[in-house]
Structure 1
Amino acid sequence: MPRIDELLAAGPTYSFEFFPPRTDAGEAKLRATLNELEPLGPSFVSVTYGAGGSTRERTHQIVVDMLEHTTMTPMAHLTAVCHTRDELADILARYRDAGVKNILALRGDAPQDVEPFWELERAIDLVELAREVGGGQFAIGVAAHPEGHPSSRVLAEDRRHLATKLTAADFGVTQFFFTVDAYLAMVDAVRSHGCDTPIVPGVMPVTNVRQIERFAQLSGAAFPTELGDRLHAVEDDAAEVARIGIEVATQLCRDLLDAGAPGLHFYTLNSSTATREIYANLGLPAATR
């Protein structure tokens, strides 16, 4: 199985993100989505991790199943919140022993139903633990927020910390955003701190207006007023909302690739339709990776 840093060194990557379902129906939907997207030949696919490890075993199961039964290269998300160092080391050792080579190391947001704690206080601490446990096997990614982490009060400090974190990792993947300028400003800022780690932009096409506005608020992404006005004008027409969302996401992807982004990471929300349409609009090559 290839490492993501090696894939990025060879050229642009195109990747998809999924979340572990909590029900049998959700699992059936995810498997159908995977079957529909696998023929596109993604460079890699990632599987998220629930707050406080709430989807710990499902994440592990899906990642290992992808590794053993599909042609896709999986990346496992892992968060430090509500885990001891020993627990995290054990999870990493299980991935190492299963042959998984790609990890996204995250500090993690506080879950709503339990008192949070962080024995590893920063994502960079989890990166260092993954290096230690993996013994060189893992390519390790970290998250980046183009408009600043929502808990950060000073953008310049956020950029400095981001550059330090990225330098310790092999690659970054951003939260979703809506303008190419937001991504380029972040990249320029971390480069000014001497960091040249590749940062893959994350794209989430709008398919539900209220949902995307809620996600944007939680992640700190600025939701453009003009786009909001267009979508709210047709919010009772699901097909038109999806059409506009796909059109806007396609243009953002084109702008990012034209600006030299090292790839595209699609937040699928466990559905294939929008991702497949954007992929086709961009004329991306299928089943070549």
Structure 2
Amino acid sequence: MALLVPCFVSATYGAGGITQADTLSTVLRLKQETGLVPTVHLTCVGANREEVDDFARRYWDAGVNHIVPLHDDFSTGTTDYTSRPGGYTYASDLVADLHLIADFDISVAACPEIHPAASSPEARLRTH
């Protein structure tokens, strides 16, 4: 991929948050062993705030400063999200806290149509 000189490469956090440690390891290898600029997904799923914030700090300390915070990244067959006790409920909360941790470059993702979990077209426009 380095031969194509991409602006960045994106690494997913893993559906359901199940591969957080593997993602961190992969991103650190990309950063250390290639000239590629890694961008990481960080989801609210599968960890409490403290654990998510710790991953963010570890990325920052390793020189990975571009994050794509996501609300959910469901495992196959899962369509509902409930935050873990002490976890993030909304990606907007994660974005706000990331700014408190470090001066990350943050990109956000959104559904161009109605999110599958929205109860109506109007509901998708509501904020919490």
Cα contact 2:17–2:73 (8 A) shared by 1: no
* Aligned partner of 2:56 among 92, 95, 98: 92
Tell me the equivalent position of 1:83: 47
Instruction: Tell me: higher relative CO, structure 1 or 2? Use CA pairs within 8 A at least 6 residues apart.
Output: 2
CA RMSD of aligned residues (A): 2.4
Per-residue CA deviations over 1:102-160 (Å, capped at 9, x if unaligned) read 0010111444699x6412100101111111111x1x11122111122111133344246
Deviation at 1:73, TM superposition (A): 1.0
- The alignment status of 1:126 with 2:94, answered yes or no, reads yes
Tell me the equivalent position of 1:38: 2
Structure 2: distance between partners of 1:146 and 1:84 = 28
* Aligned partner of 2:107 among 129, 133, 141: 141
Cα contact 2:28–2:62 (8 A) shared by 1: yes
Gaps of 5+ in 1: 1-36, 165-289
**Structure 1 residues 158 and 113: alpha-carbon distance in aligned structure 2, compared to 1, 3 A threshold:** closer
Cα contact 1:81–1:108 (8 A) shared by 2: yes
- Identity level (%): 37
**Structure 1 residues 151 and 139: alpha-carbon distance in aligned structure 2, compared to 1, 3 A threshold:** same
Deviation at 1:62, TM superposition (A): 1.2
Cα contact 1:83–1:117 (8 A) shared by 2: no
Highest Rg: 1 or 2?
1
* Aligned partner of 1:53 among 17, 21, 41: 17
| TM-score of the two chains, using structure 2 as the length reference | 0.84
Per-residue CA deviations over 1:53-98 (Å, capped at 9, x if unaligned) read 2111111111111111112111011111121111111111111111
Counterpart residue identity of residue 36, structure 2:
M
Tell me the equivalent position of 1:154: 120
- The alignment status of 1:67 with 2:35, answered yes or no, reads no
Structure 1: distance between partners of 2:18 and 2:99 = 24
Find runs of 4+ consecutive structure 1 residues off by over 4 angstroms.
none
SS in structure 2 of the partner of residue 144 of structure 1: coil
Cα contact 1:148–1:159 (8 A) shared by 2: no
Cα contact 1:82–1:117 (8 A) shared by 2: no
